[in-house]
Structure 1
Amino acid sequence: MTQTSIWQDDQHTAQYAELCNALYERELAILAQADLSSATAIQHRIKSLPYYIKRTAHAMIQSQCPLDLDTVNGSWSAKQGTKMPLSGQDESAIWQWYQTSKPRLGLVVPVALTDRIILDCIDRLDKQGQGFRTNVCGWFREESKVQAQTFQLLKPNKKVMMAACCGHSWQNNKKVQPVMPTLRELLLSCAINWQNFKQSLFI
């Protein structure tokens, strides 16, 4: 066995390497433009990059996601709808879905911004069962109307989750160039259980 053959099946070597390269390029470009106050902050970010990039690339290669994997750009791709997929997303339907699904910590949830849908995950549950907190967007409770001004919790379905994974964007009810999901969102995309949105996969 040669040294080359040892790595032949390691995470589909060529795709994995290409994907890591694309993710590194993107993250370094983001770091170059970031408003970080100290060299220490930059060092911490750079130090953590190898772990998160390798983990994300591996998860994307192994994912059963029904989307096309673009290793050159480090992203998922699928046909974009003409409008944001918000059909059936009225507030009562959304909360009925979450109440019946009994969400758990780590569940991947979609959140609509003004121009696109992002992926977030539950990191804290209300003790009375009246809501939950997500890692980025904060608390969501049925009676709360404040957060709806800037973003809206959605119930997951295939169209919504696909749009979020691909970074599809819309302005004035017209589709525009997709936004590149963050490294965190790409990792969350690999935890989506496409057979049962009420549960997340372990990655």
Structure 2
Amino acid sequence: MTSGTDNSSSQTDFFELSSSQTSAHPHFAELCNALYERELYQLATQGPSQIQLLRRRLSGLSHHVKRAAYFLANNDAPIEVDSHNASWQGKQAAKCPGYQVDGEKNAAWFARHAQHGLVVPVRVALLDTQHVELDSVDRVLPDERKLHVNKHGWFHFSGEPLAEASSAPLSQHQLLRPTKPIMTAACCGHAWNHKGKTSPRALSLREMLLSGTIDWKTFRLTKPR
């Protein structure tokens, strides 16, 4: 029978790099294990009910986990990485930094910089709670001054949604112009309610992948690593 110690060692080595790579990425395996455990829990509790879709998600899981771990291990972000939890850590503001939006500044920024693949923040408010999520632009209509993001749909350049999702009538969404405080809140999973700060939420694997592609100097689209 294999001992518990052997099982632990096998799990730790599952995502190991070569010896030369390990010296350059000492936390890679730990990051992978944390990401893998978190995503498996999400798939088990909130994943797709269709077997084929679930199999497809699982088949690509290892690749996406390694990619997210690589970004975390090689980041140049002005926020810290908690390798034990595979998460970003940064000081949380007293209030959501995306609560007040200047529509004109939003519109001017997106008119200049909106393009396919750009990582953008979206403020999500549900009942008395709110947080900022990372999303990505997948379509831009400059003549109509609007864009579409992968998860949250269509927005005017000003940040207002074209239509709220009927499946979540109590939620509100606002596209935000990326700034350091807003992107820090999004990457760290900061959340607030009417009393103030609440426990941070865990980012999805998709958001972790998006967080690794942010250009923290300009917040504009950069070439993929």
Shared fold (TM-score, shorter chain, > 0.5): yes
Tell me the TM-score normalized by structure 2: 0.80
- Equivalent AA in structure 1 for residue 120 of structure 2: V
| Equivalent in the alignment of 1:182 | 204
| Equivalent in the alignment of 2:183 | 161
Preserved contact between residue 121 and residue 182 of structure 2 (Cα < 8 Å): yes
**Alpha carbons of 1:5 and 1:188: their partners in 2 closer, same or farther (altered >3 Å)?**
closer
- 2:136 aligns to what SS in structure 1? strand
Preserved contact between residue 117 and residue 164 of structure 1 (Cα < 8 Å): yes
- 2:98 aligns to what SS in structure 1? coil
- 2:77 aligns to what SS in structure 1? coil
**Alpha carbons of 1:96 and 1:8: their partners in 2 closer, same or farther (altered >3 Å)?**
same
Preserved contact between residue 193 and residue 201 of structure 1 (Cα < 8 Å): no
Q: Using the alignment, how far apart are the partners of 1:14 and 1:160 within structure 2?
A: 30
Structure 1 residue 105 and structure 2 residue 116: aligned? Answer: yes
Q: Which residues of structure 1 form unaligned runs of 5+? A: none
Structure 1 residue 122 and structure 2 residue 137: aligned? Answer: yes
Structure 1 residue 68 and structure 2 residue 80: aligned? Answer: yes
CA positional deviation for 1:129? 4.9
Q: Using the alignment, how far apart are the partners of 1:5 and 1:75 within structure 2?
A: 20
Preserved contact between residue 82 and residue 88 of structure 2 (Cα < 8 Å): yes
Question: For structure 1, which segment, 180-189 or 138-147, has the greater mean C-alpha deviation from structure 2 after superposition?
Answer: 138-147
Q: Using the alignment, how far apart are the partners of 2:25 and 2:216 within structure 1?
A: 26
Q: Which residues of structure 2 form unaligned runs of 5+? A: 1-15, 166-170
Preserved contact between residue 60 and residue 187 of structure 1 (Cα < 8 Å): no
Identity of aligned residues (%): 36
Bigger relative CO (Cα 8 Å, ≥ 6 apart) = 1
**Alpha carbons of 1:147 and 1:36: their partners in 2 closer, same or farther (altered >3 Å)?**
closer
Residues 114-140 of structure 1, C-alpha deviations (whole Å, 9 max, x = no match): 110001111111162521111111111
- Equivalent AA in structure 2 for residue 14 of structure 1: P
Structure 1 residue 194 and structure 2 residue 206: aligned? Answer: no
- Equivalent AA in structure 2 for residue 162 of structure 1: T
Residues 70-105 of structure 1, C-alpha deviations (whole Å, 9 max, x = no match): 111010001111110137622222112212x23221
- Equivalent AA in structure 1 for residue 175 of structure 2: L
Once the two structures are superposed, the pairs formed by residues 1-203 of structure 1 within 5 Å of their partners are 7-10=19-22, 12-34=24-46, 36-86=48-98, 89-99=101-111, 101-114=112-125, 115-126=130-141, 128-141=143-156, 142=158, 146-147=163-164, 150-203=172-225
Runs of 4+ off more than 6 Å: none
- Equivalent AA in structure 2 for residue 150 of structure 1: Q
- Equivalent AA in structure 2 for residue 197 of structure 1: F
Q: Using the alignment, how far apart are the partners of 1:189 and 1:31 within structure 2?
A: 20
Tell me the TM-score normalized by structure 1: 0.88
Q: Using the alignment, how far apart are the partners of 1:127 and 1:158 within structure 2?
A: 25
Count of residue pairs the alignment pairs up: 199
Preserved contact between residue 12 and residue 61 of structure 1 (Cα < 8 Å): no
CA positional deviation for 1:48? 1.0
**Alpha carbons of 1:84 and 1:5: their partners in 2 closer, same or farther (altered >3 Å)?**
closer
**Alpha carbons of 1:177 and 1:6: their partners in 2 closer, same or farther (altered >3 Å)?**
closer
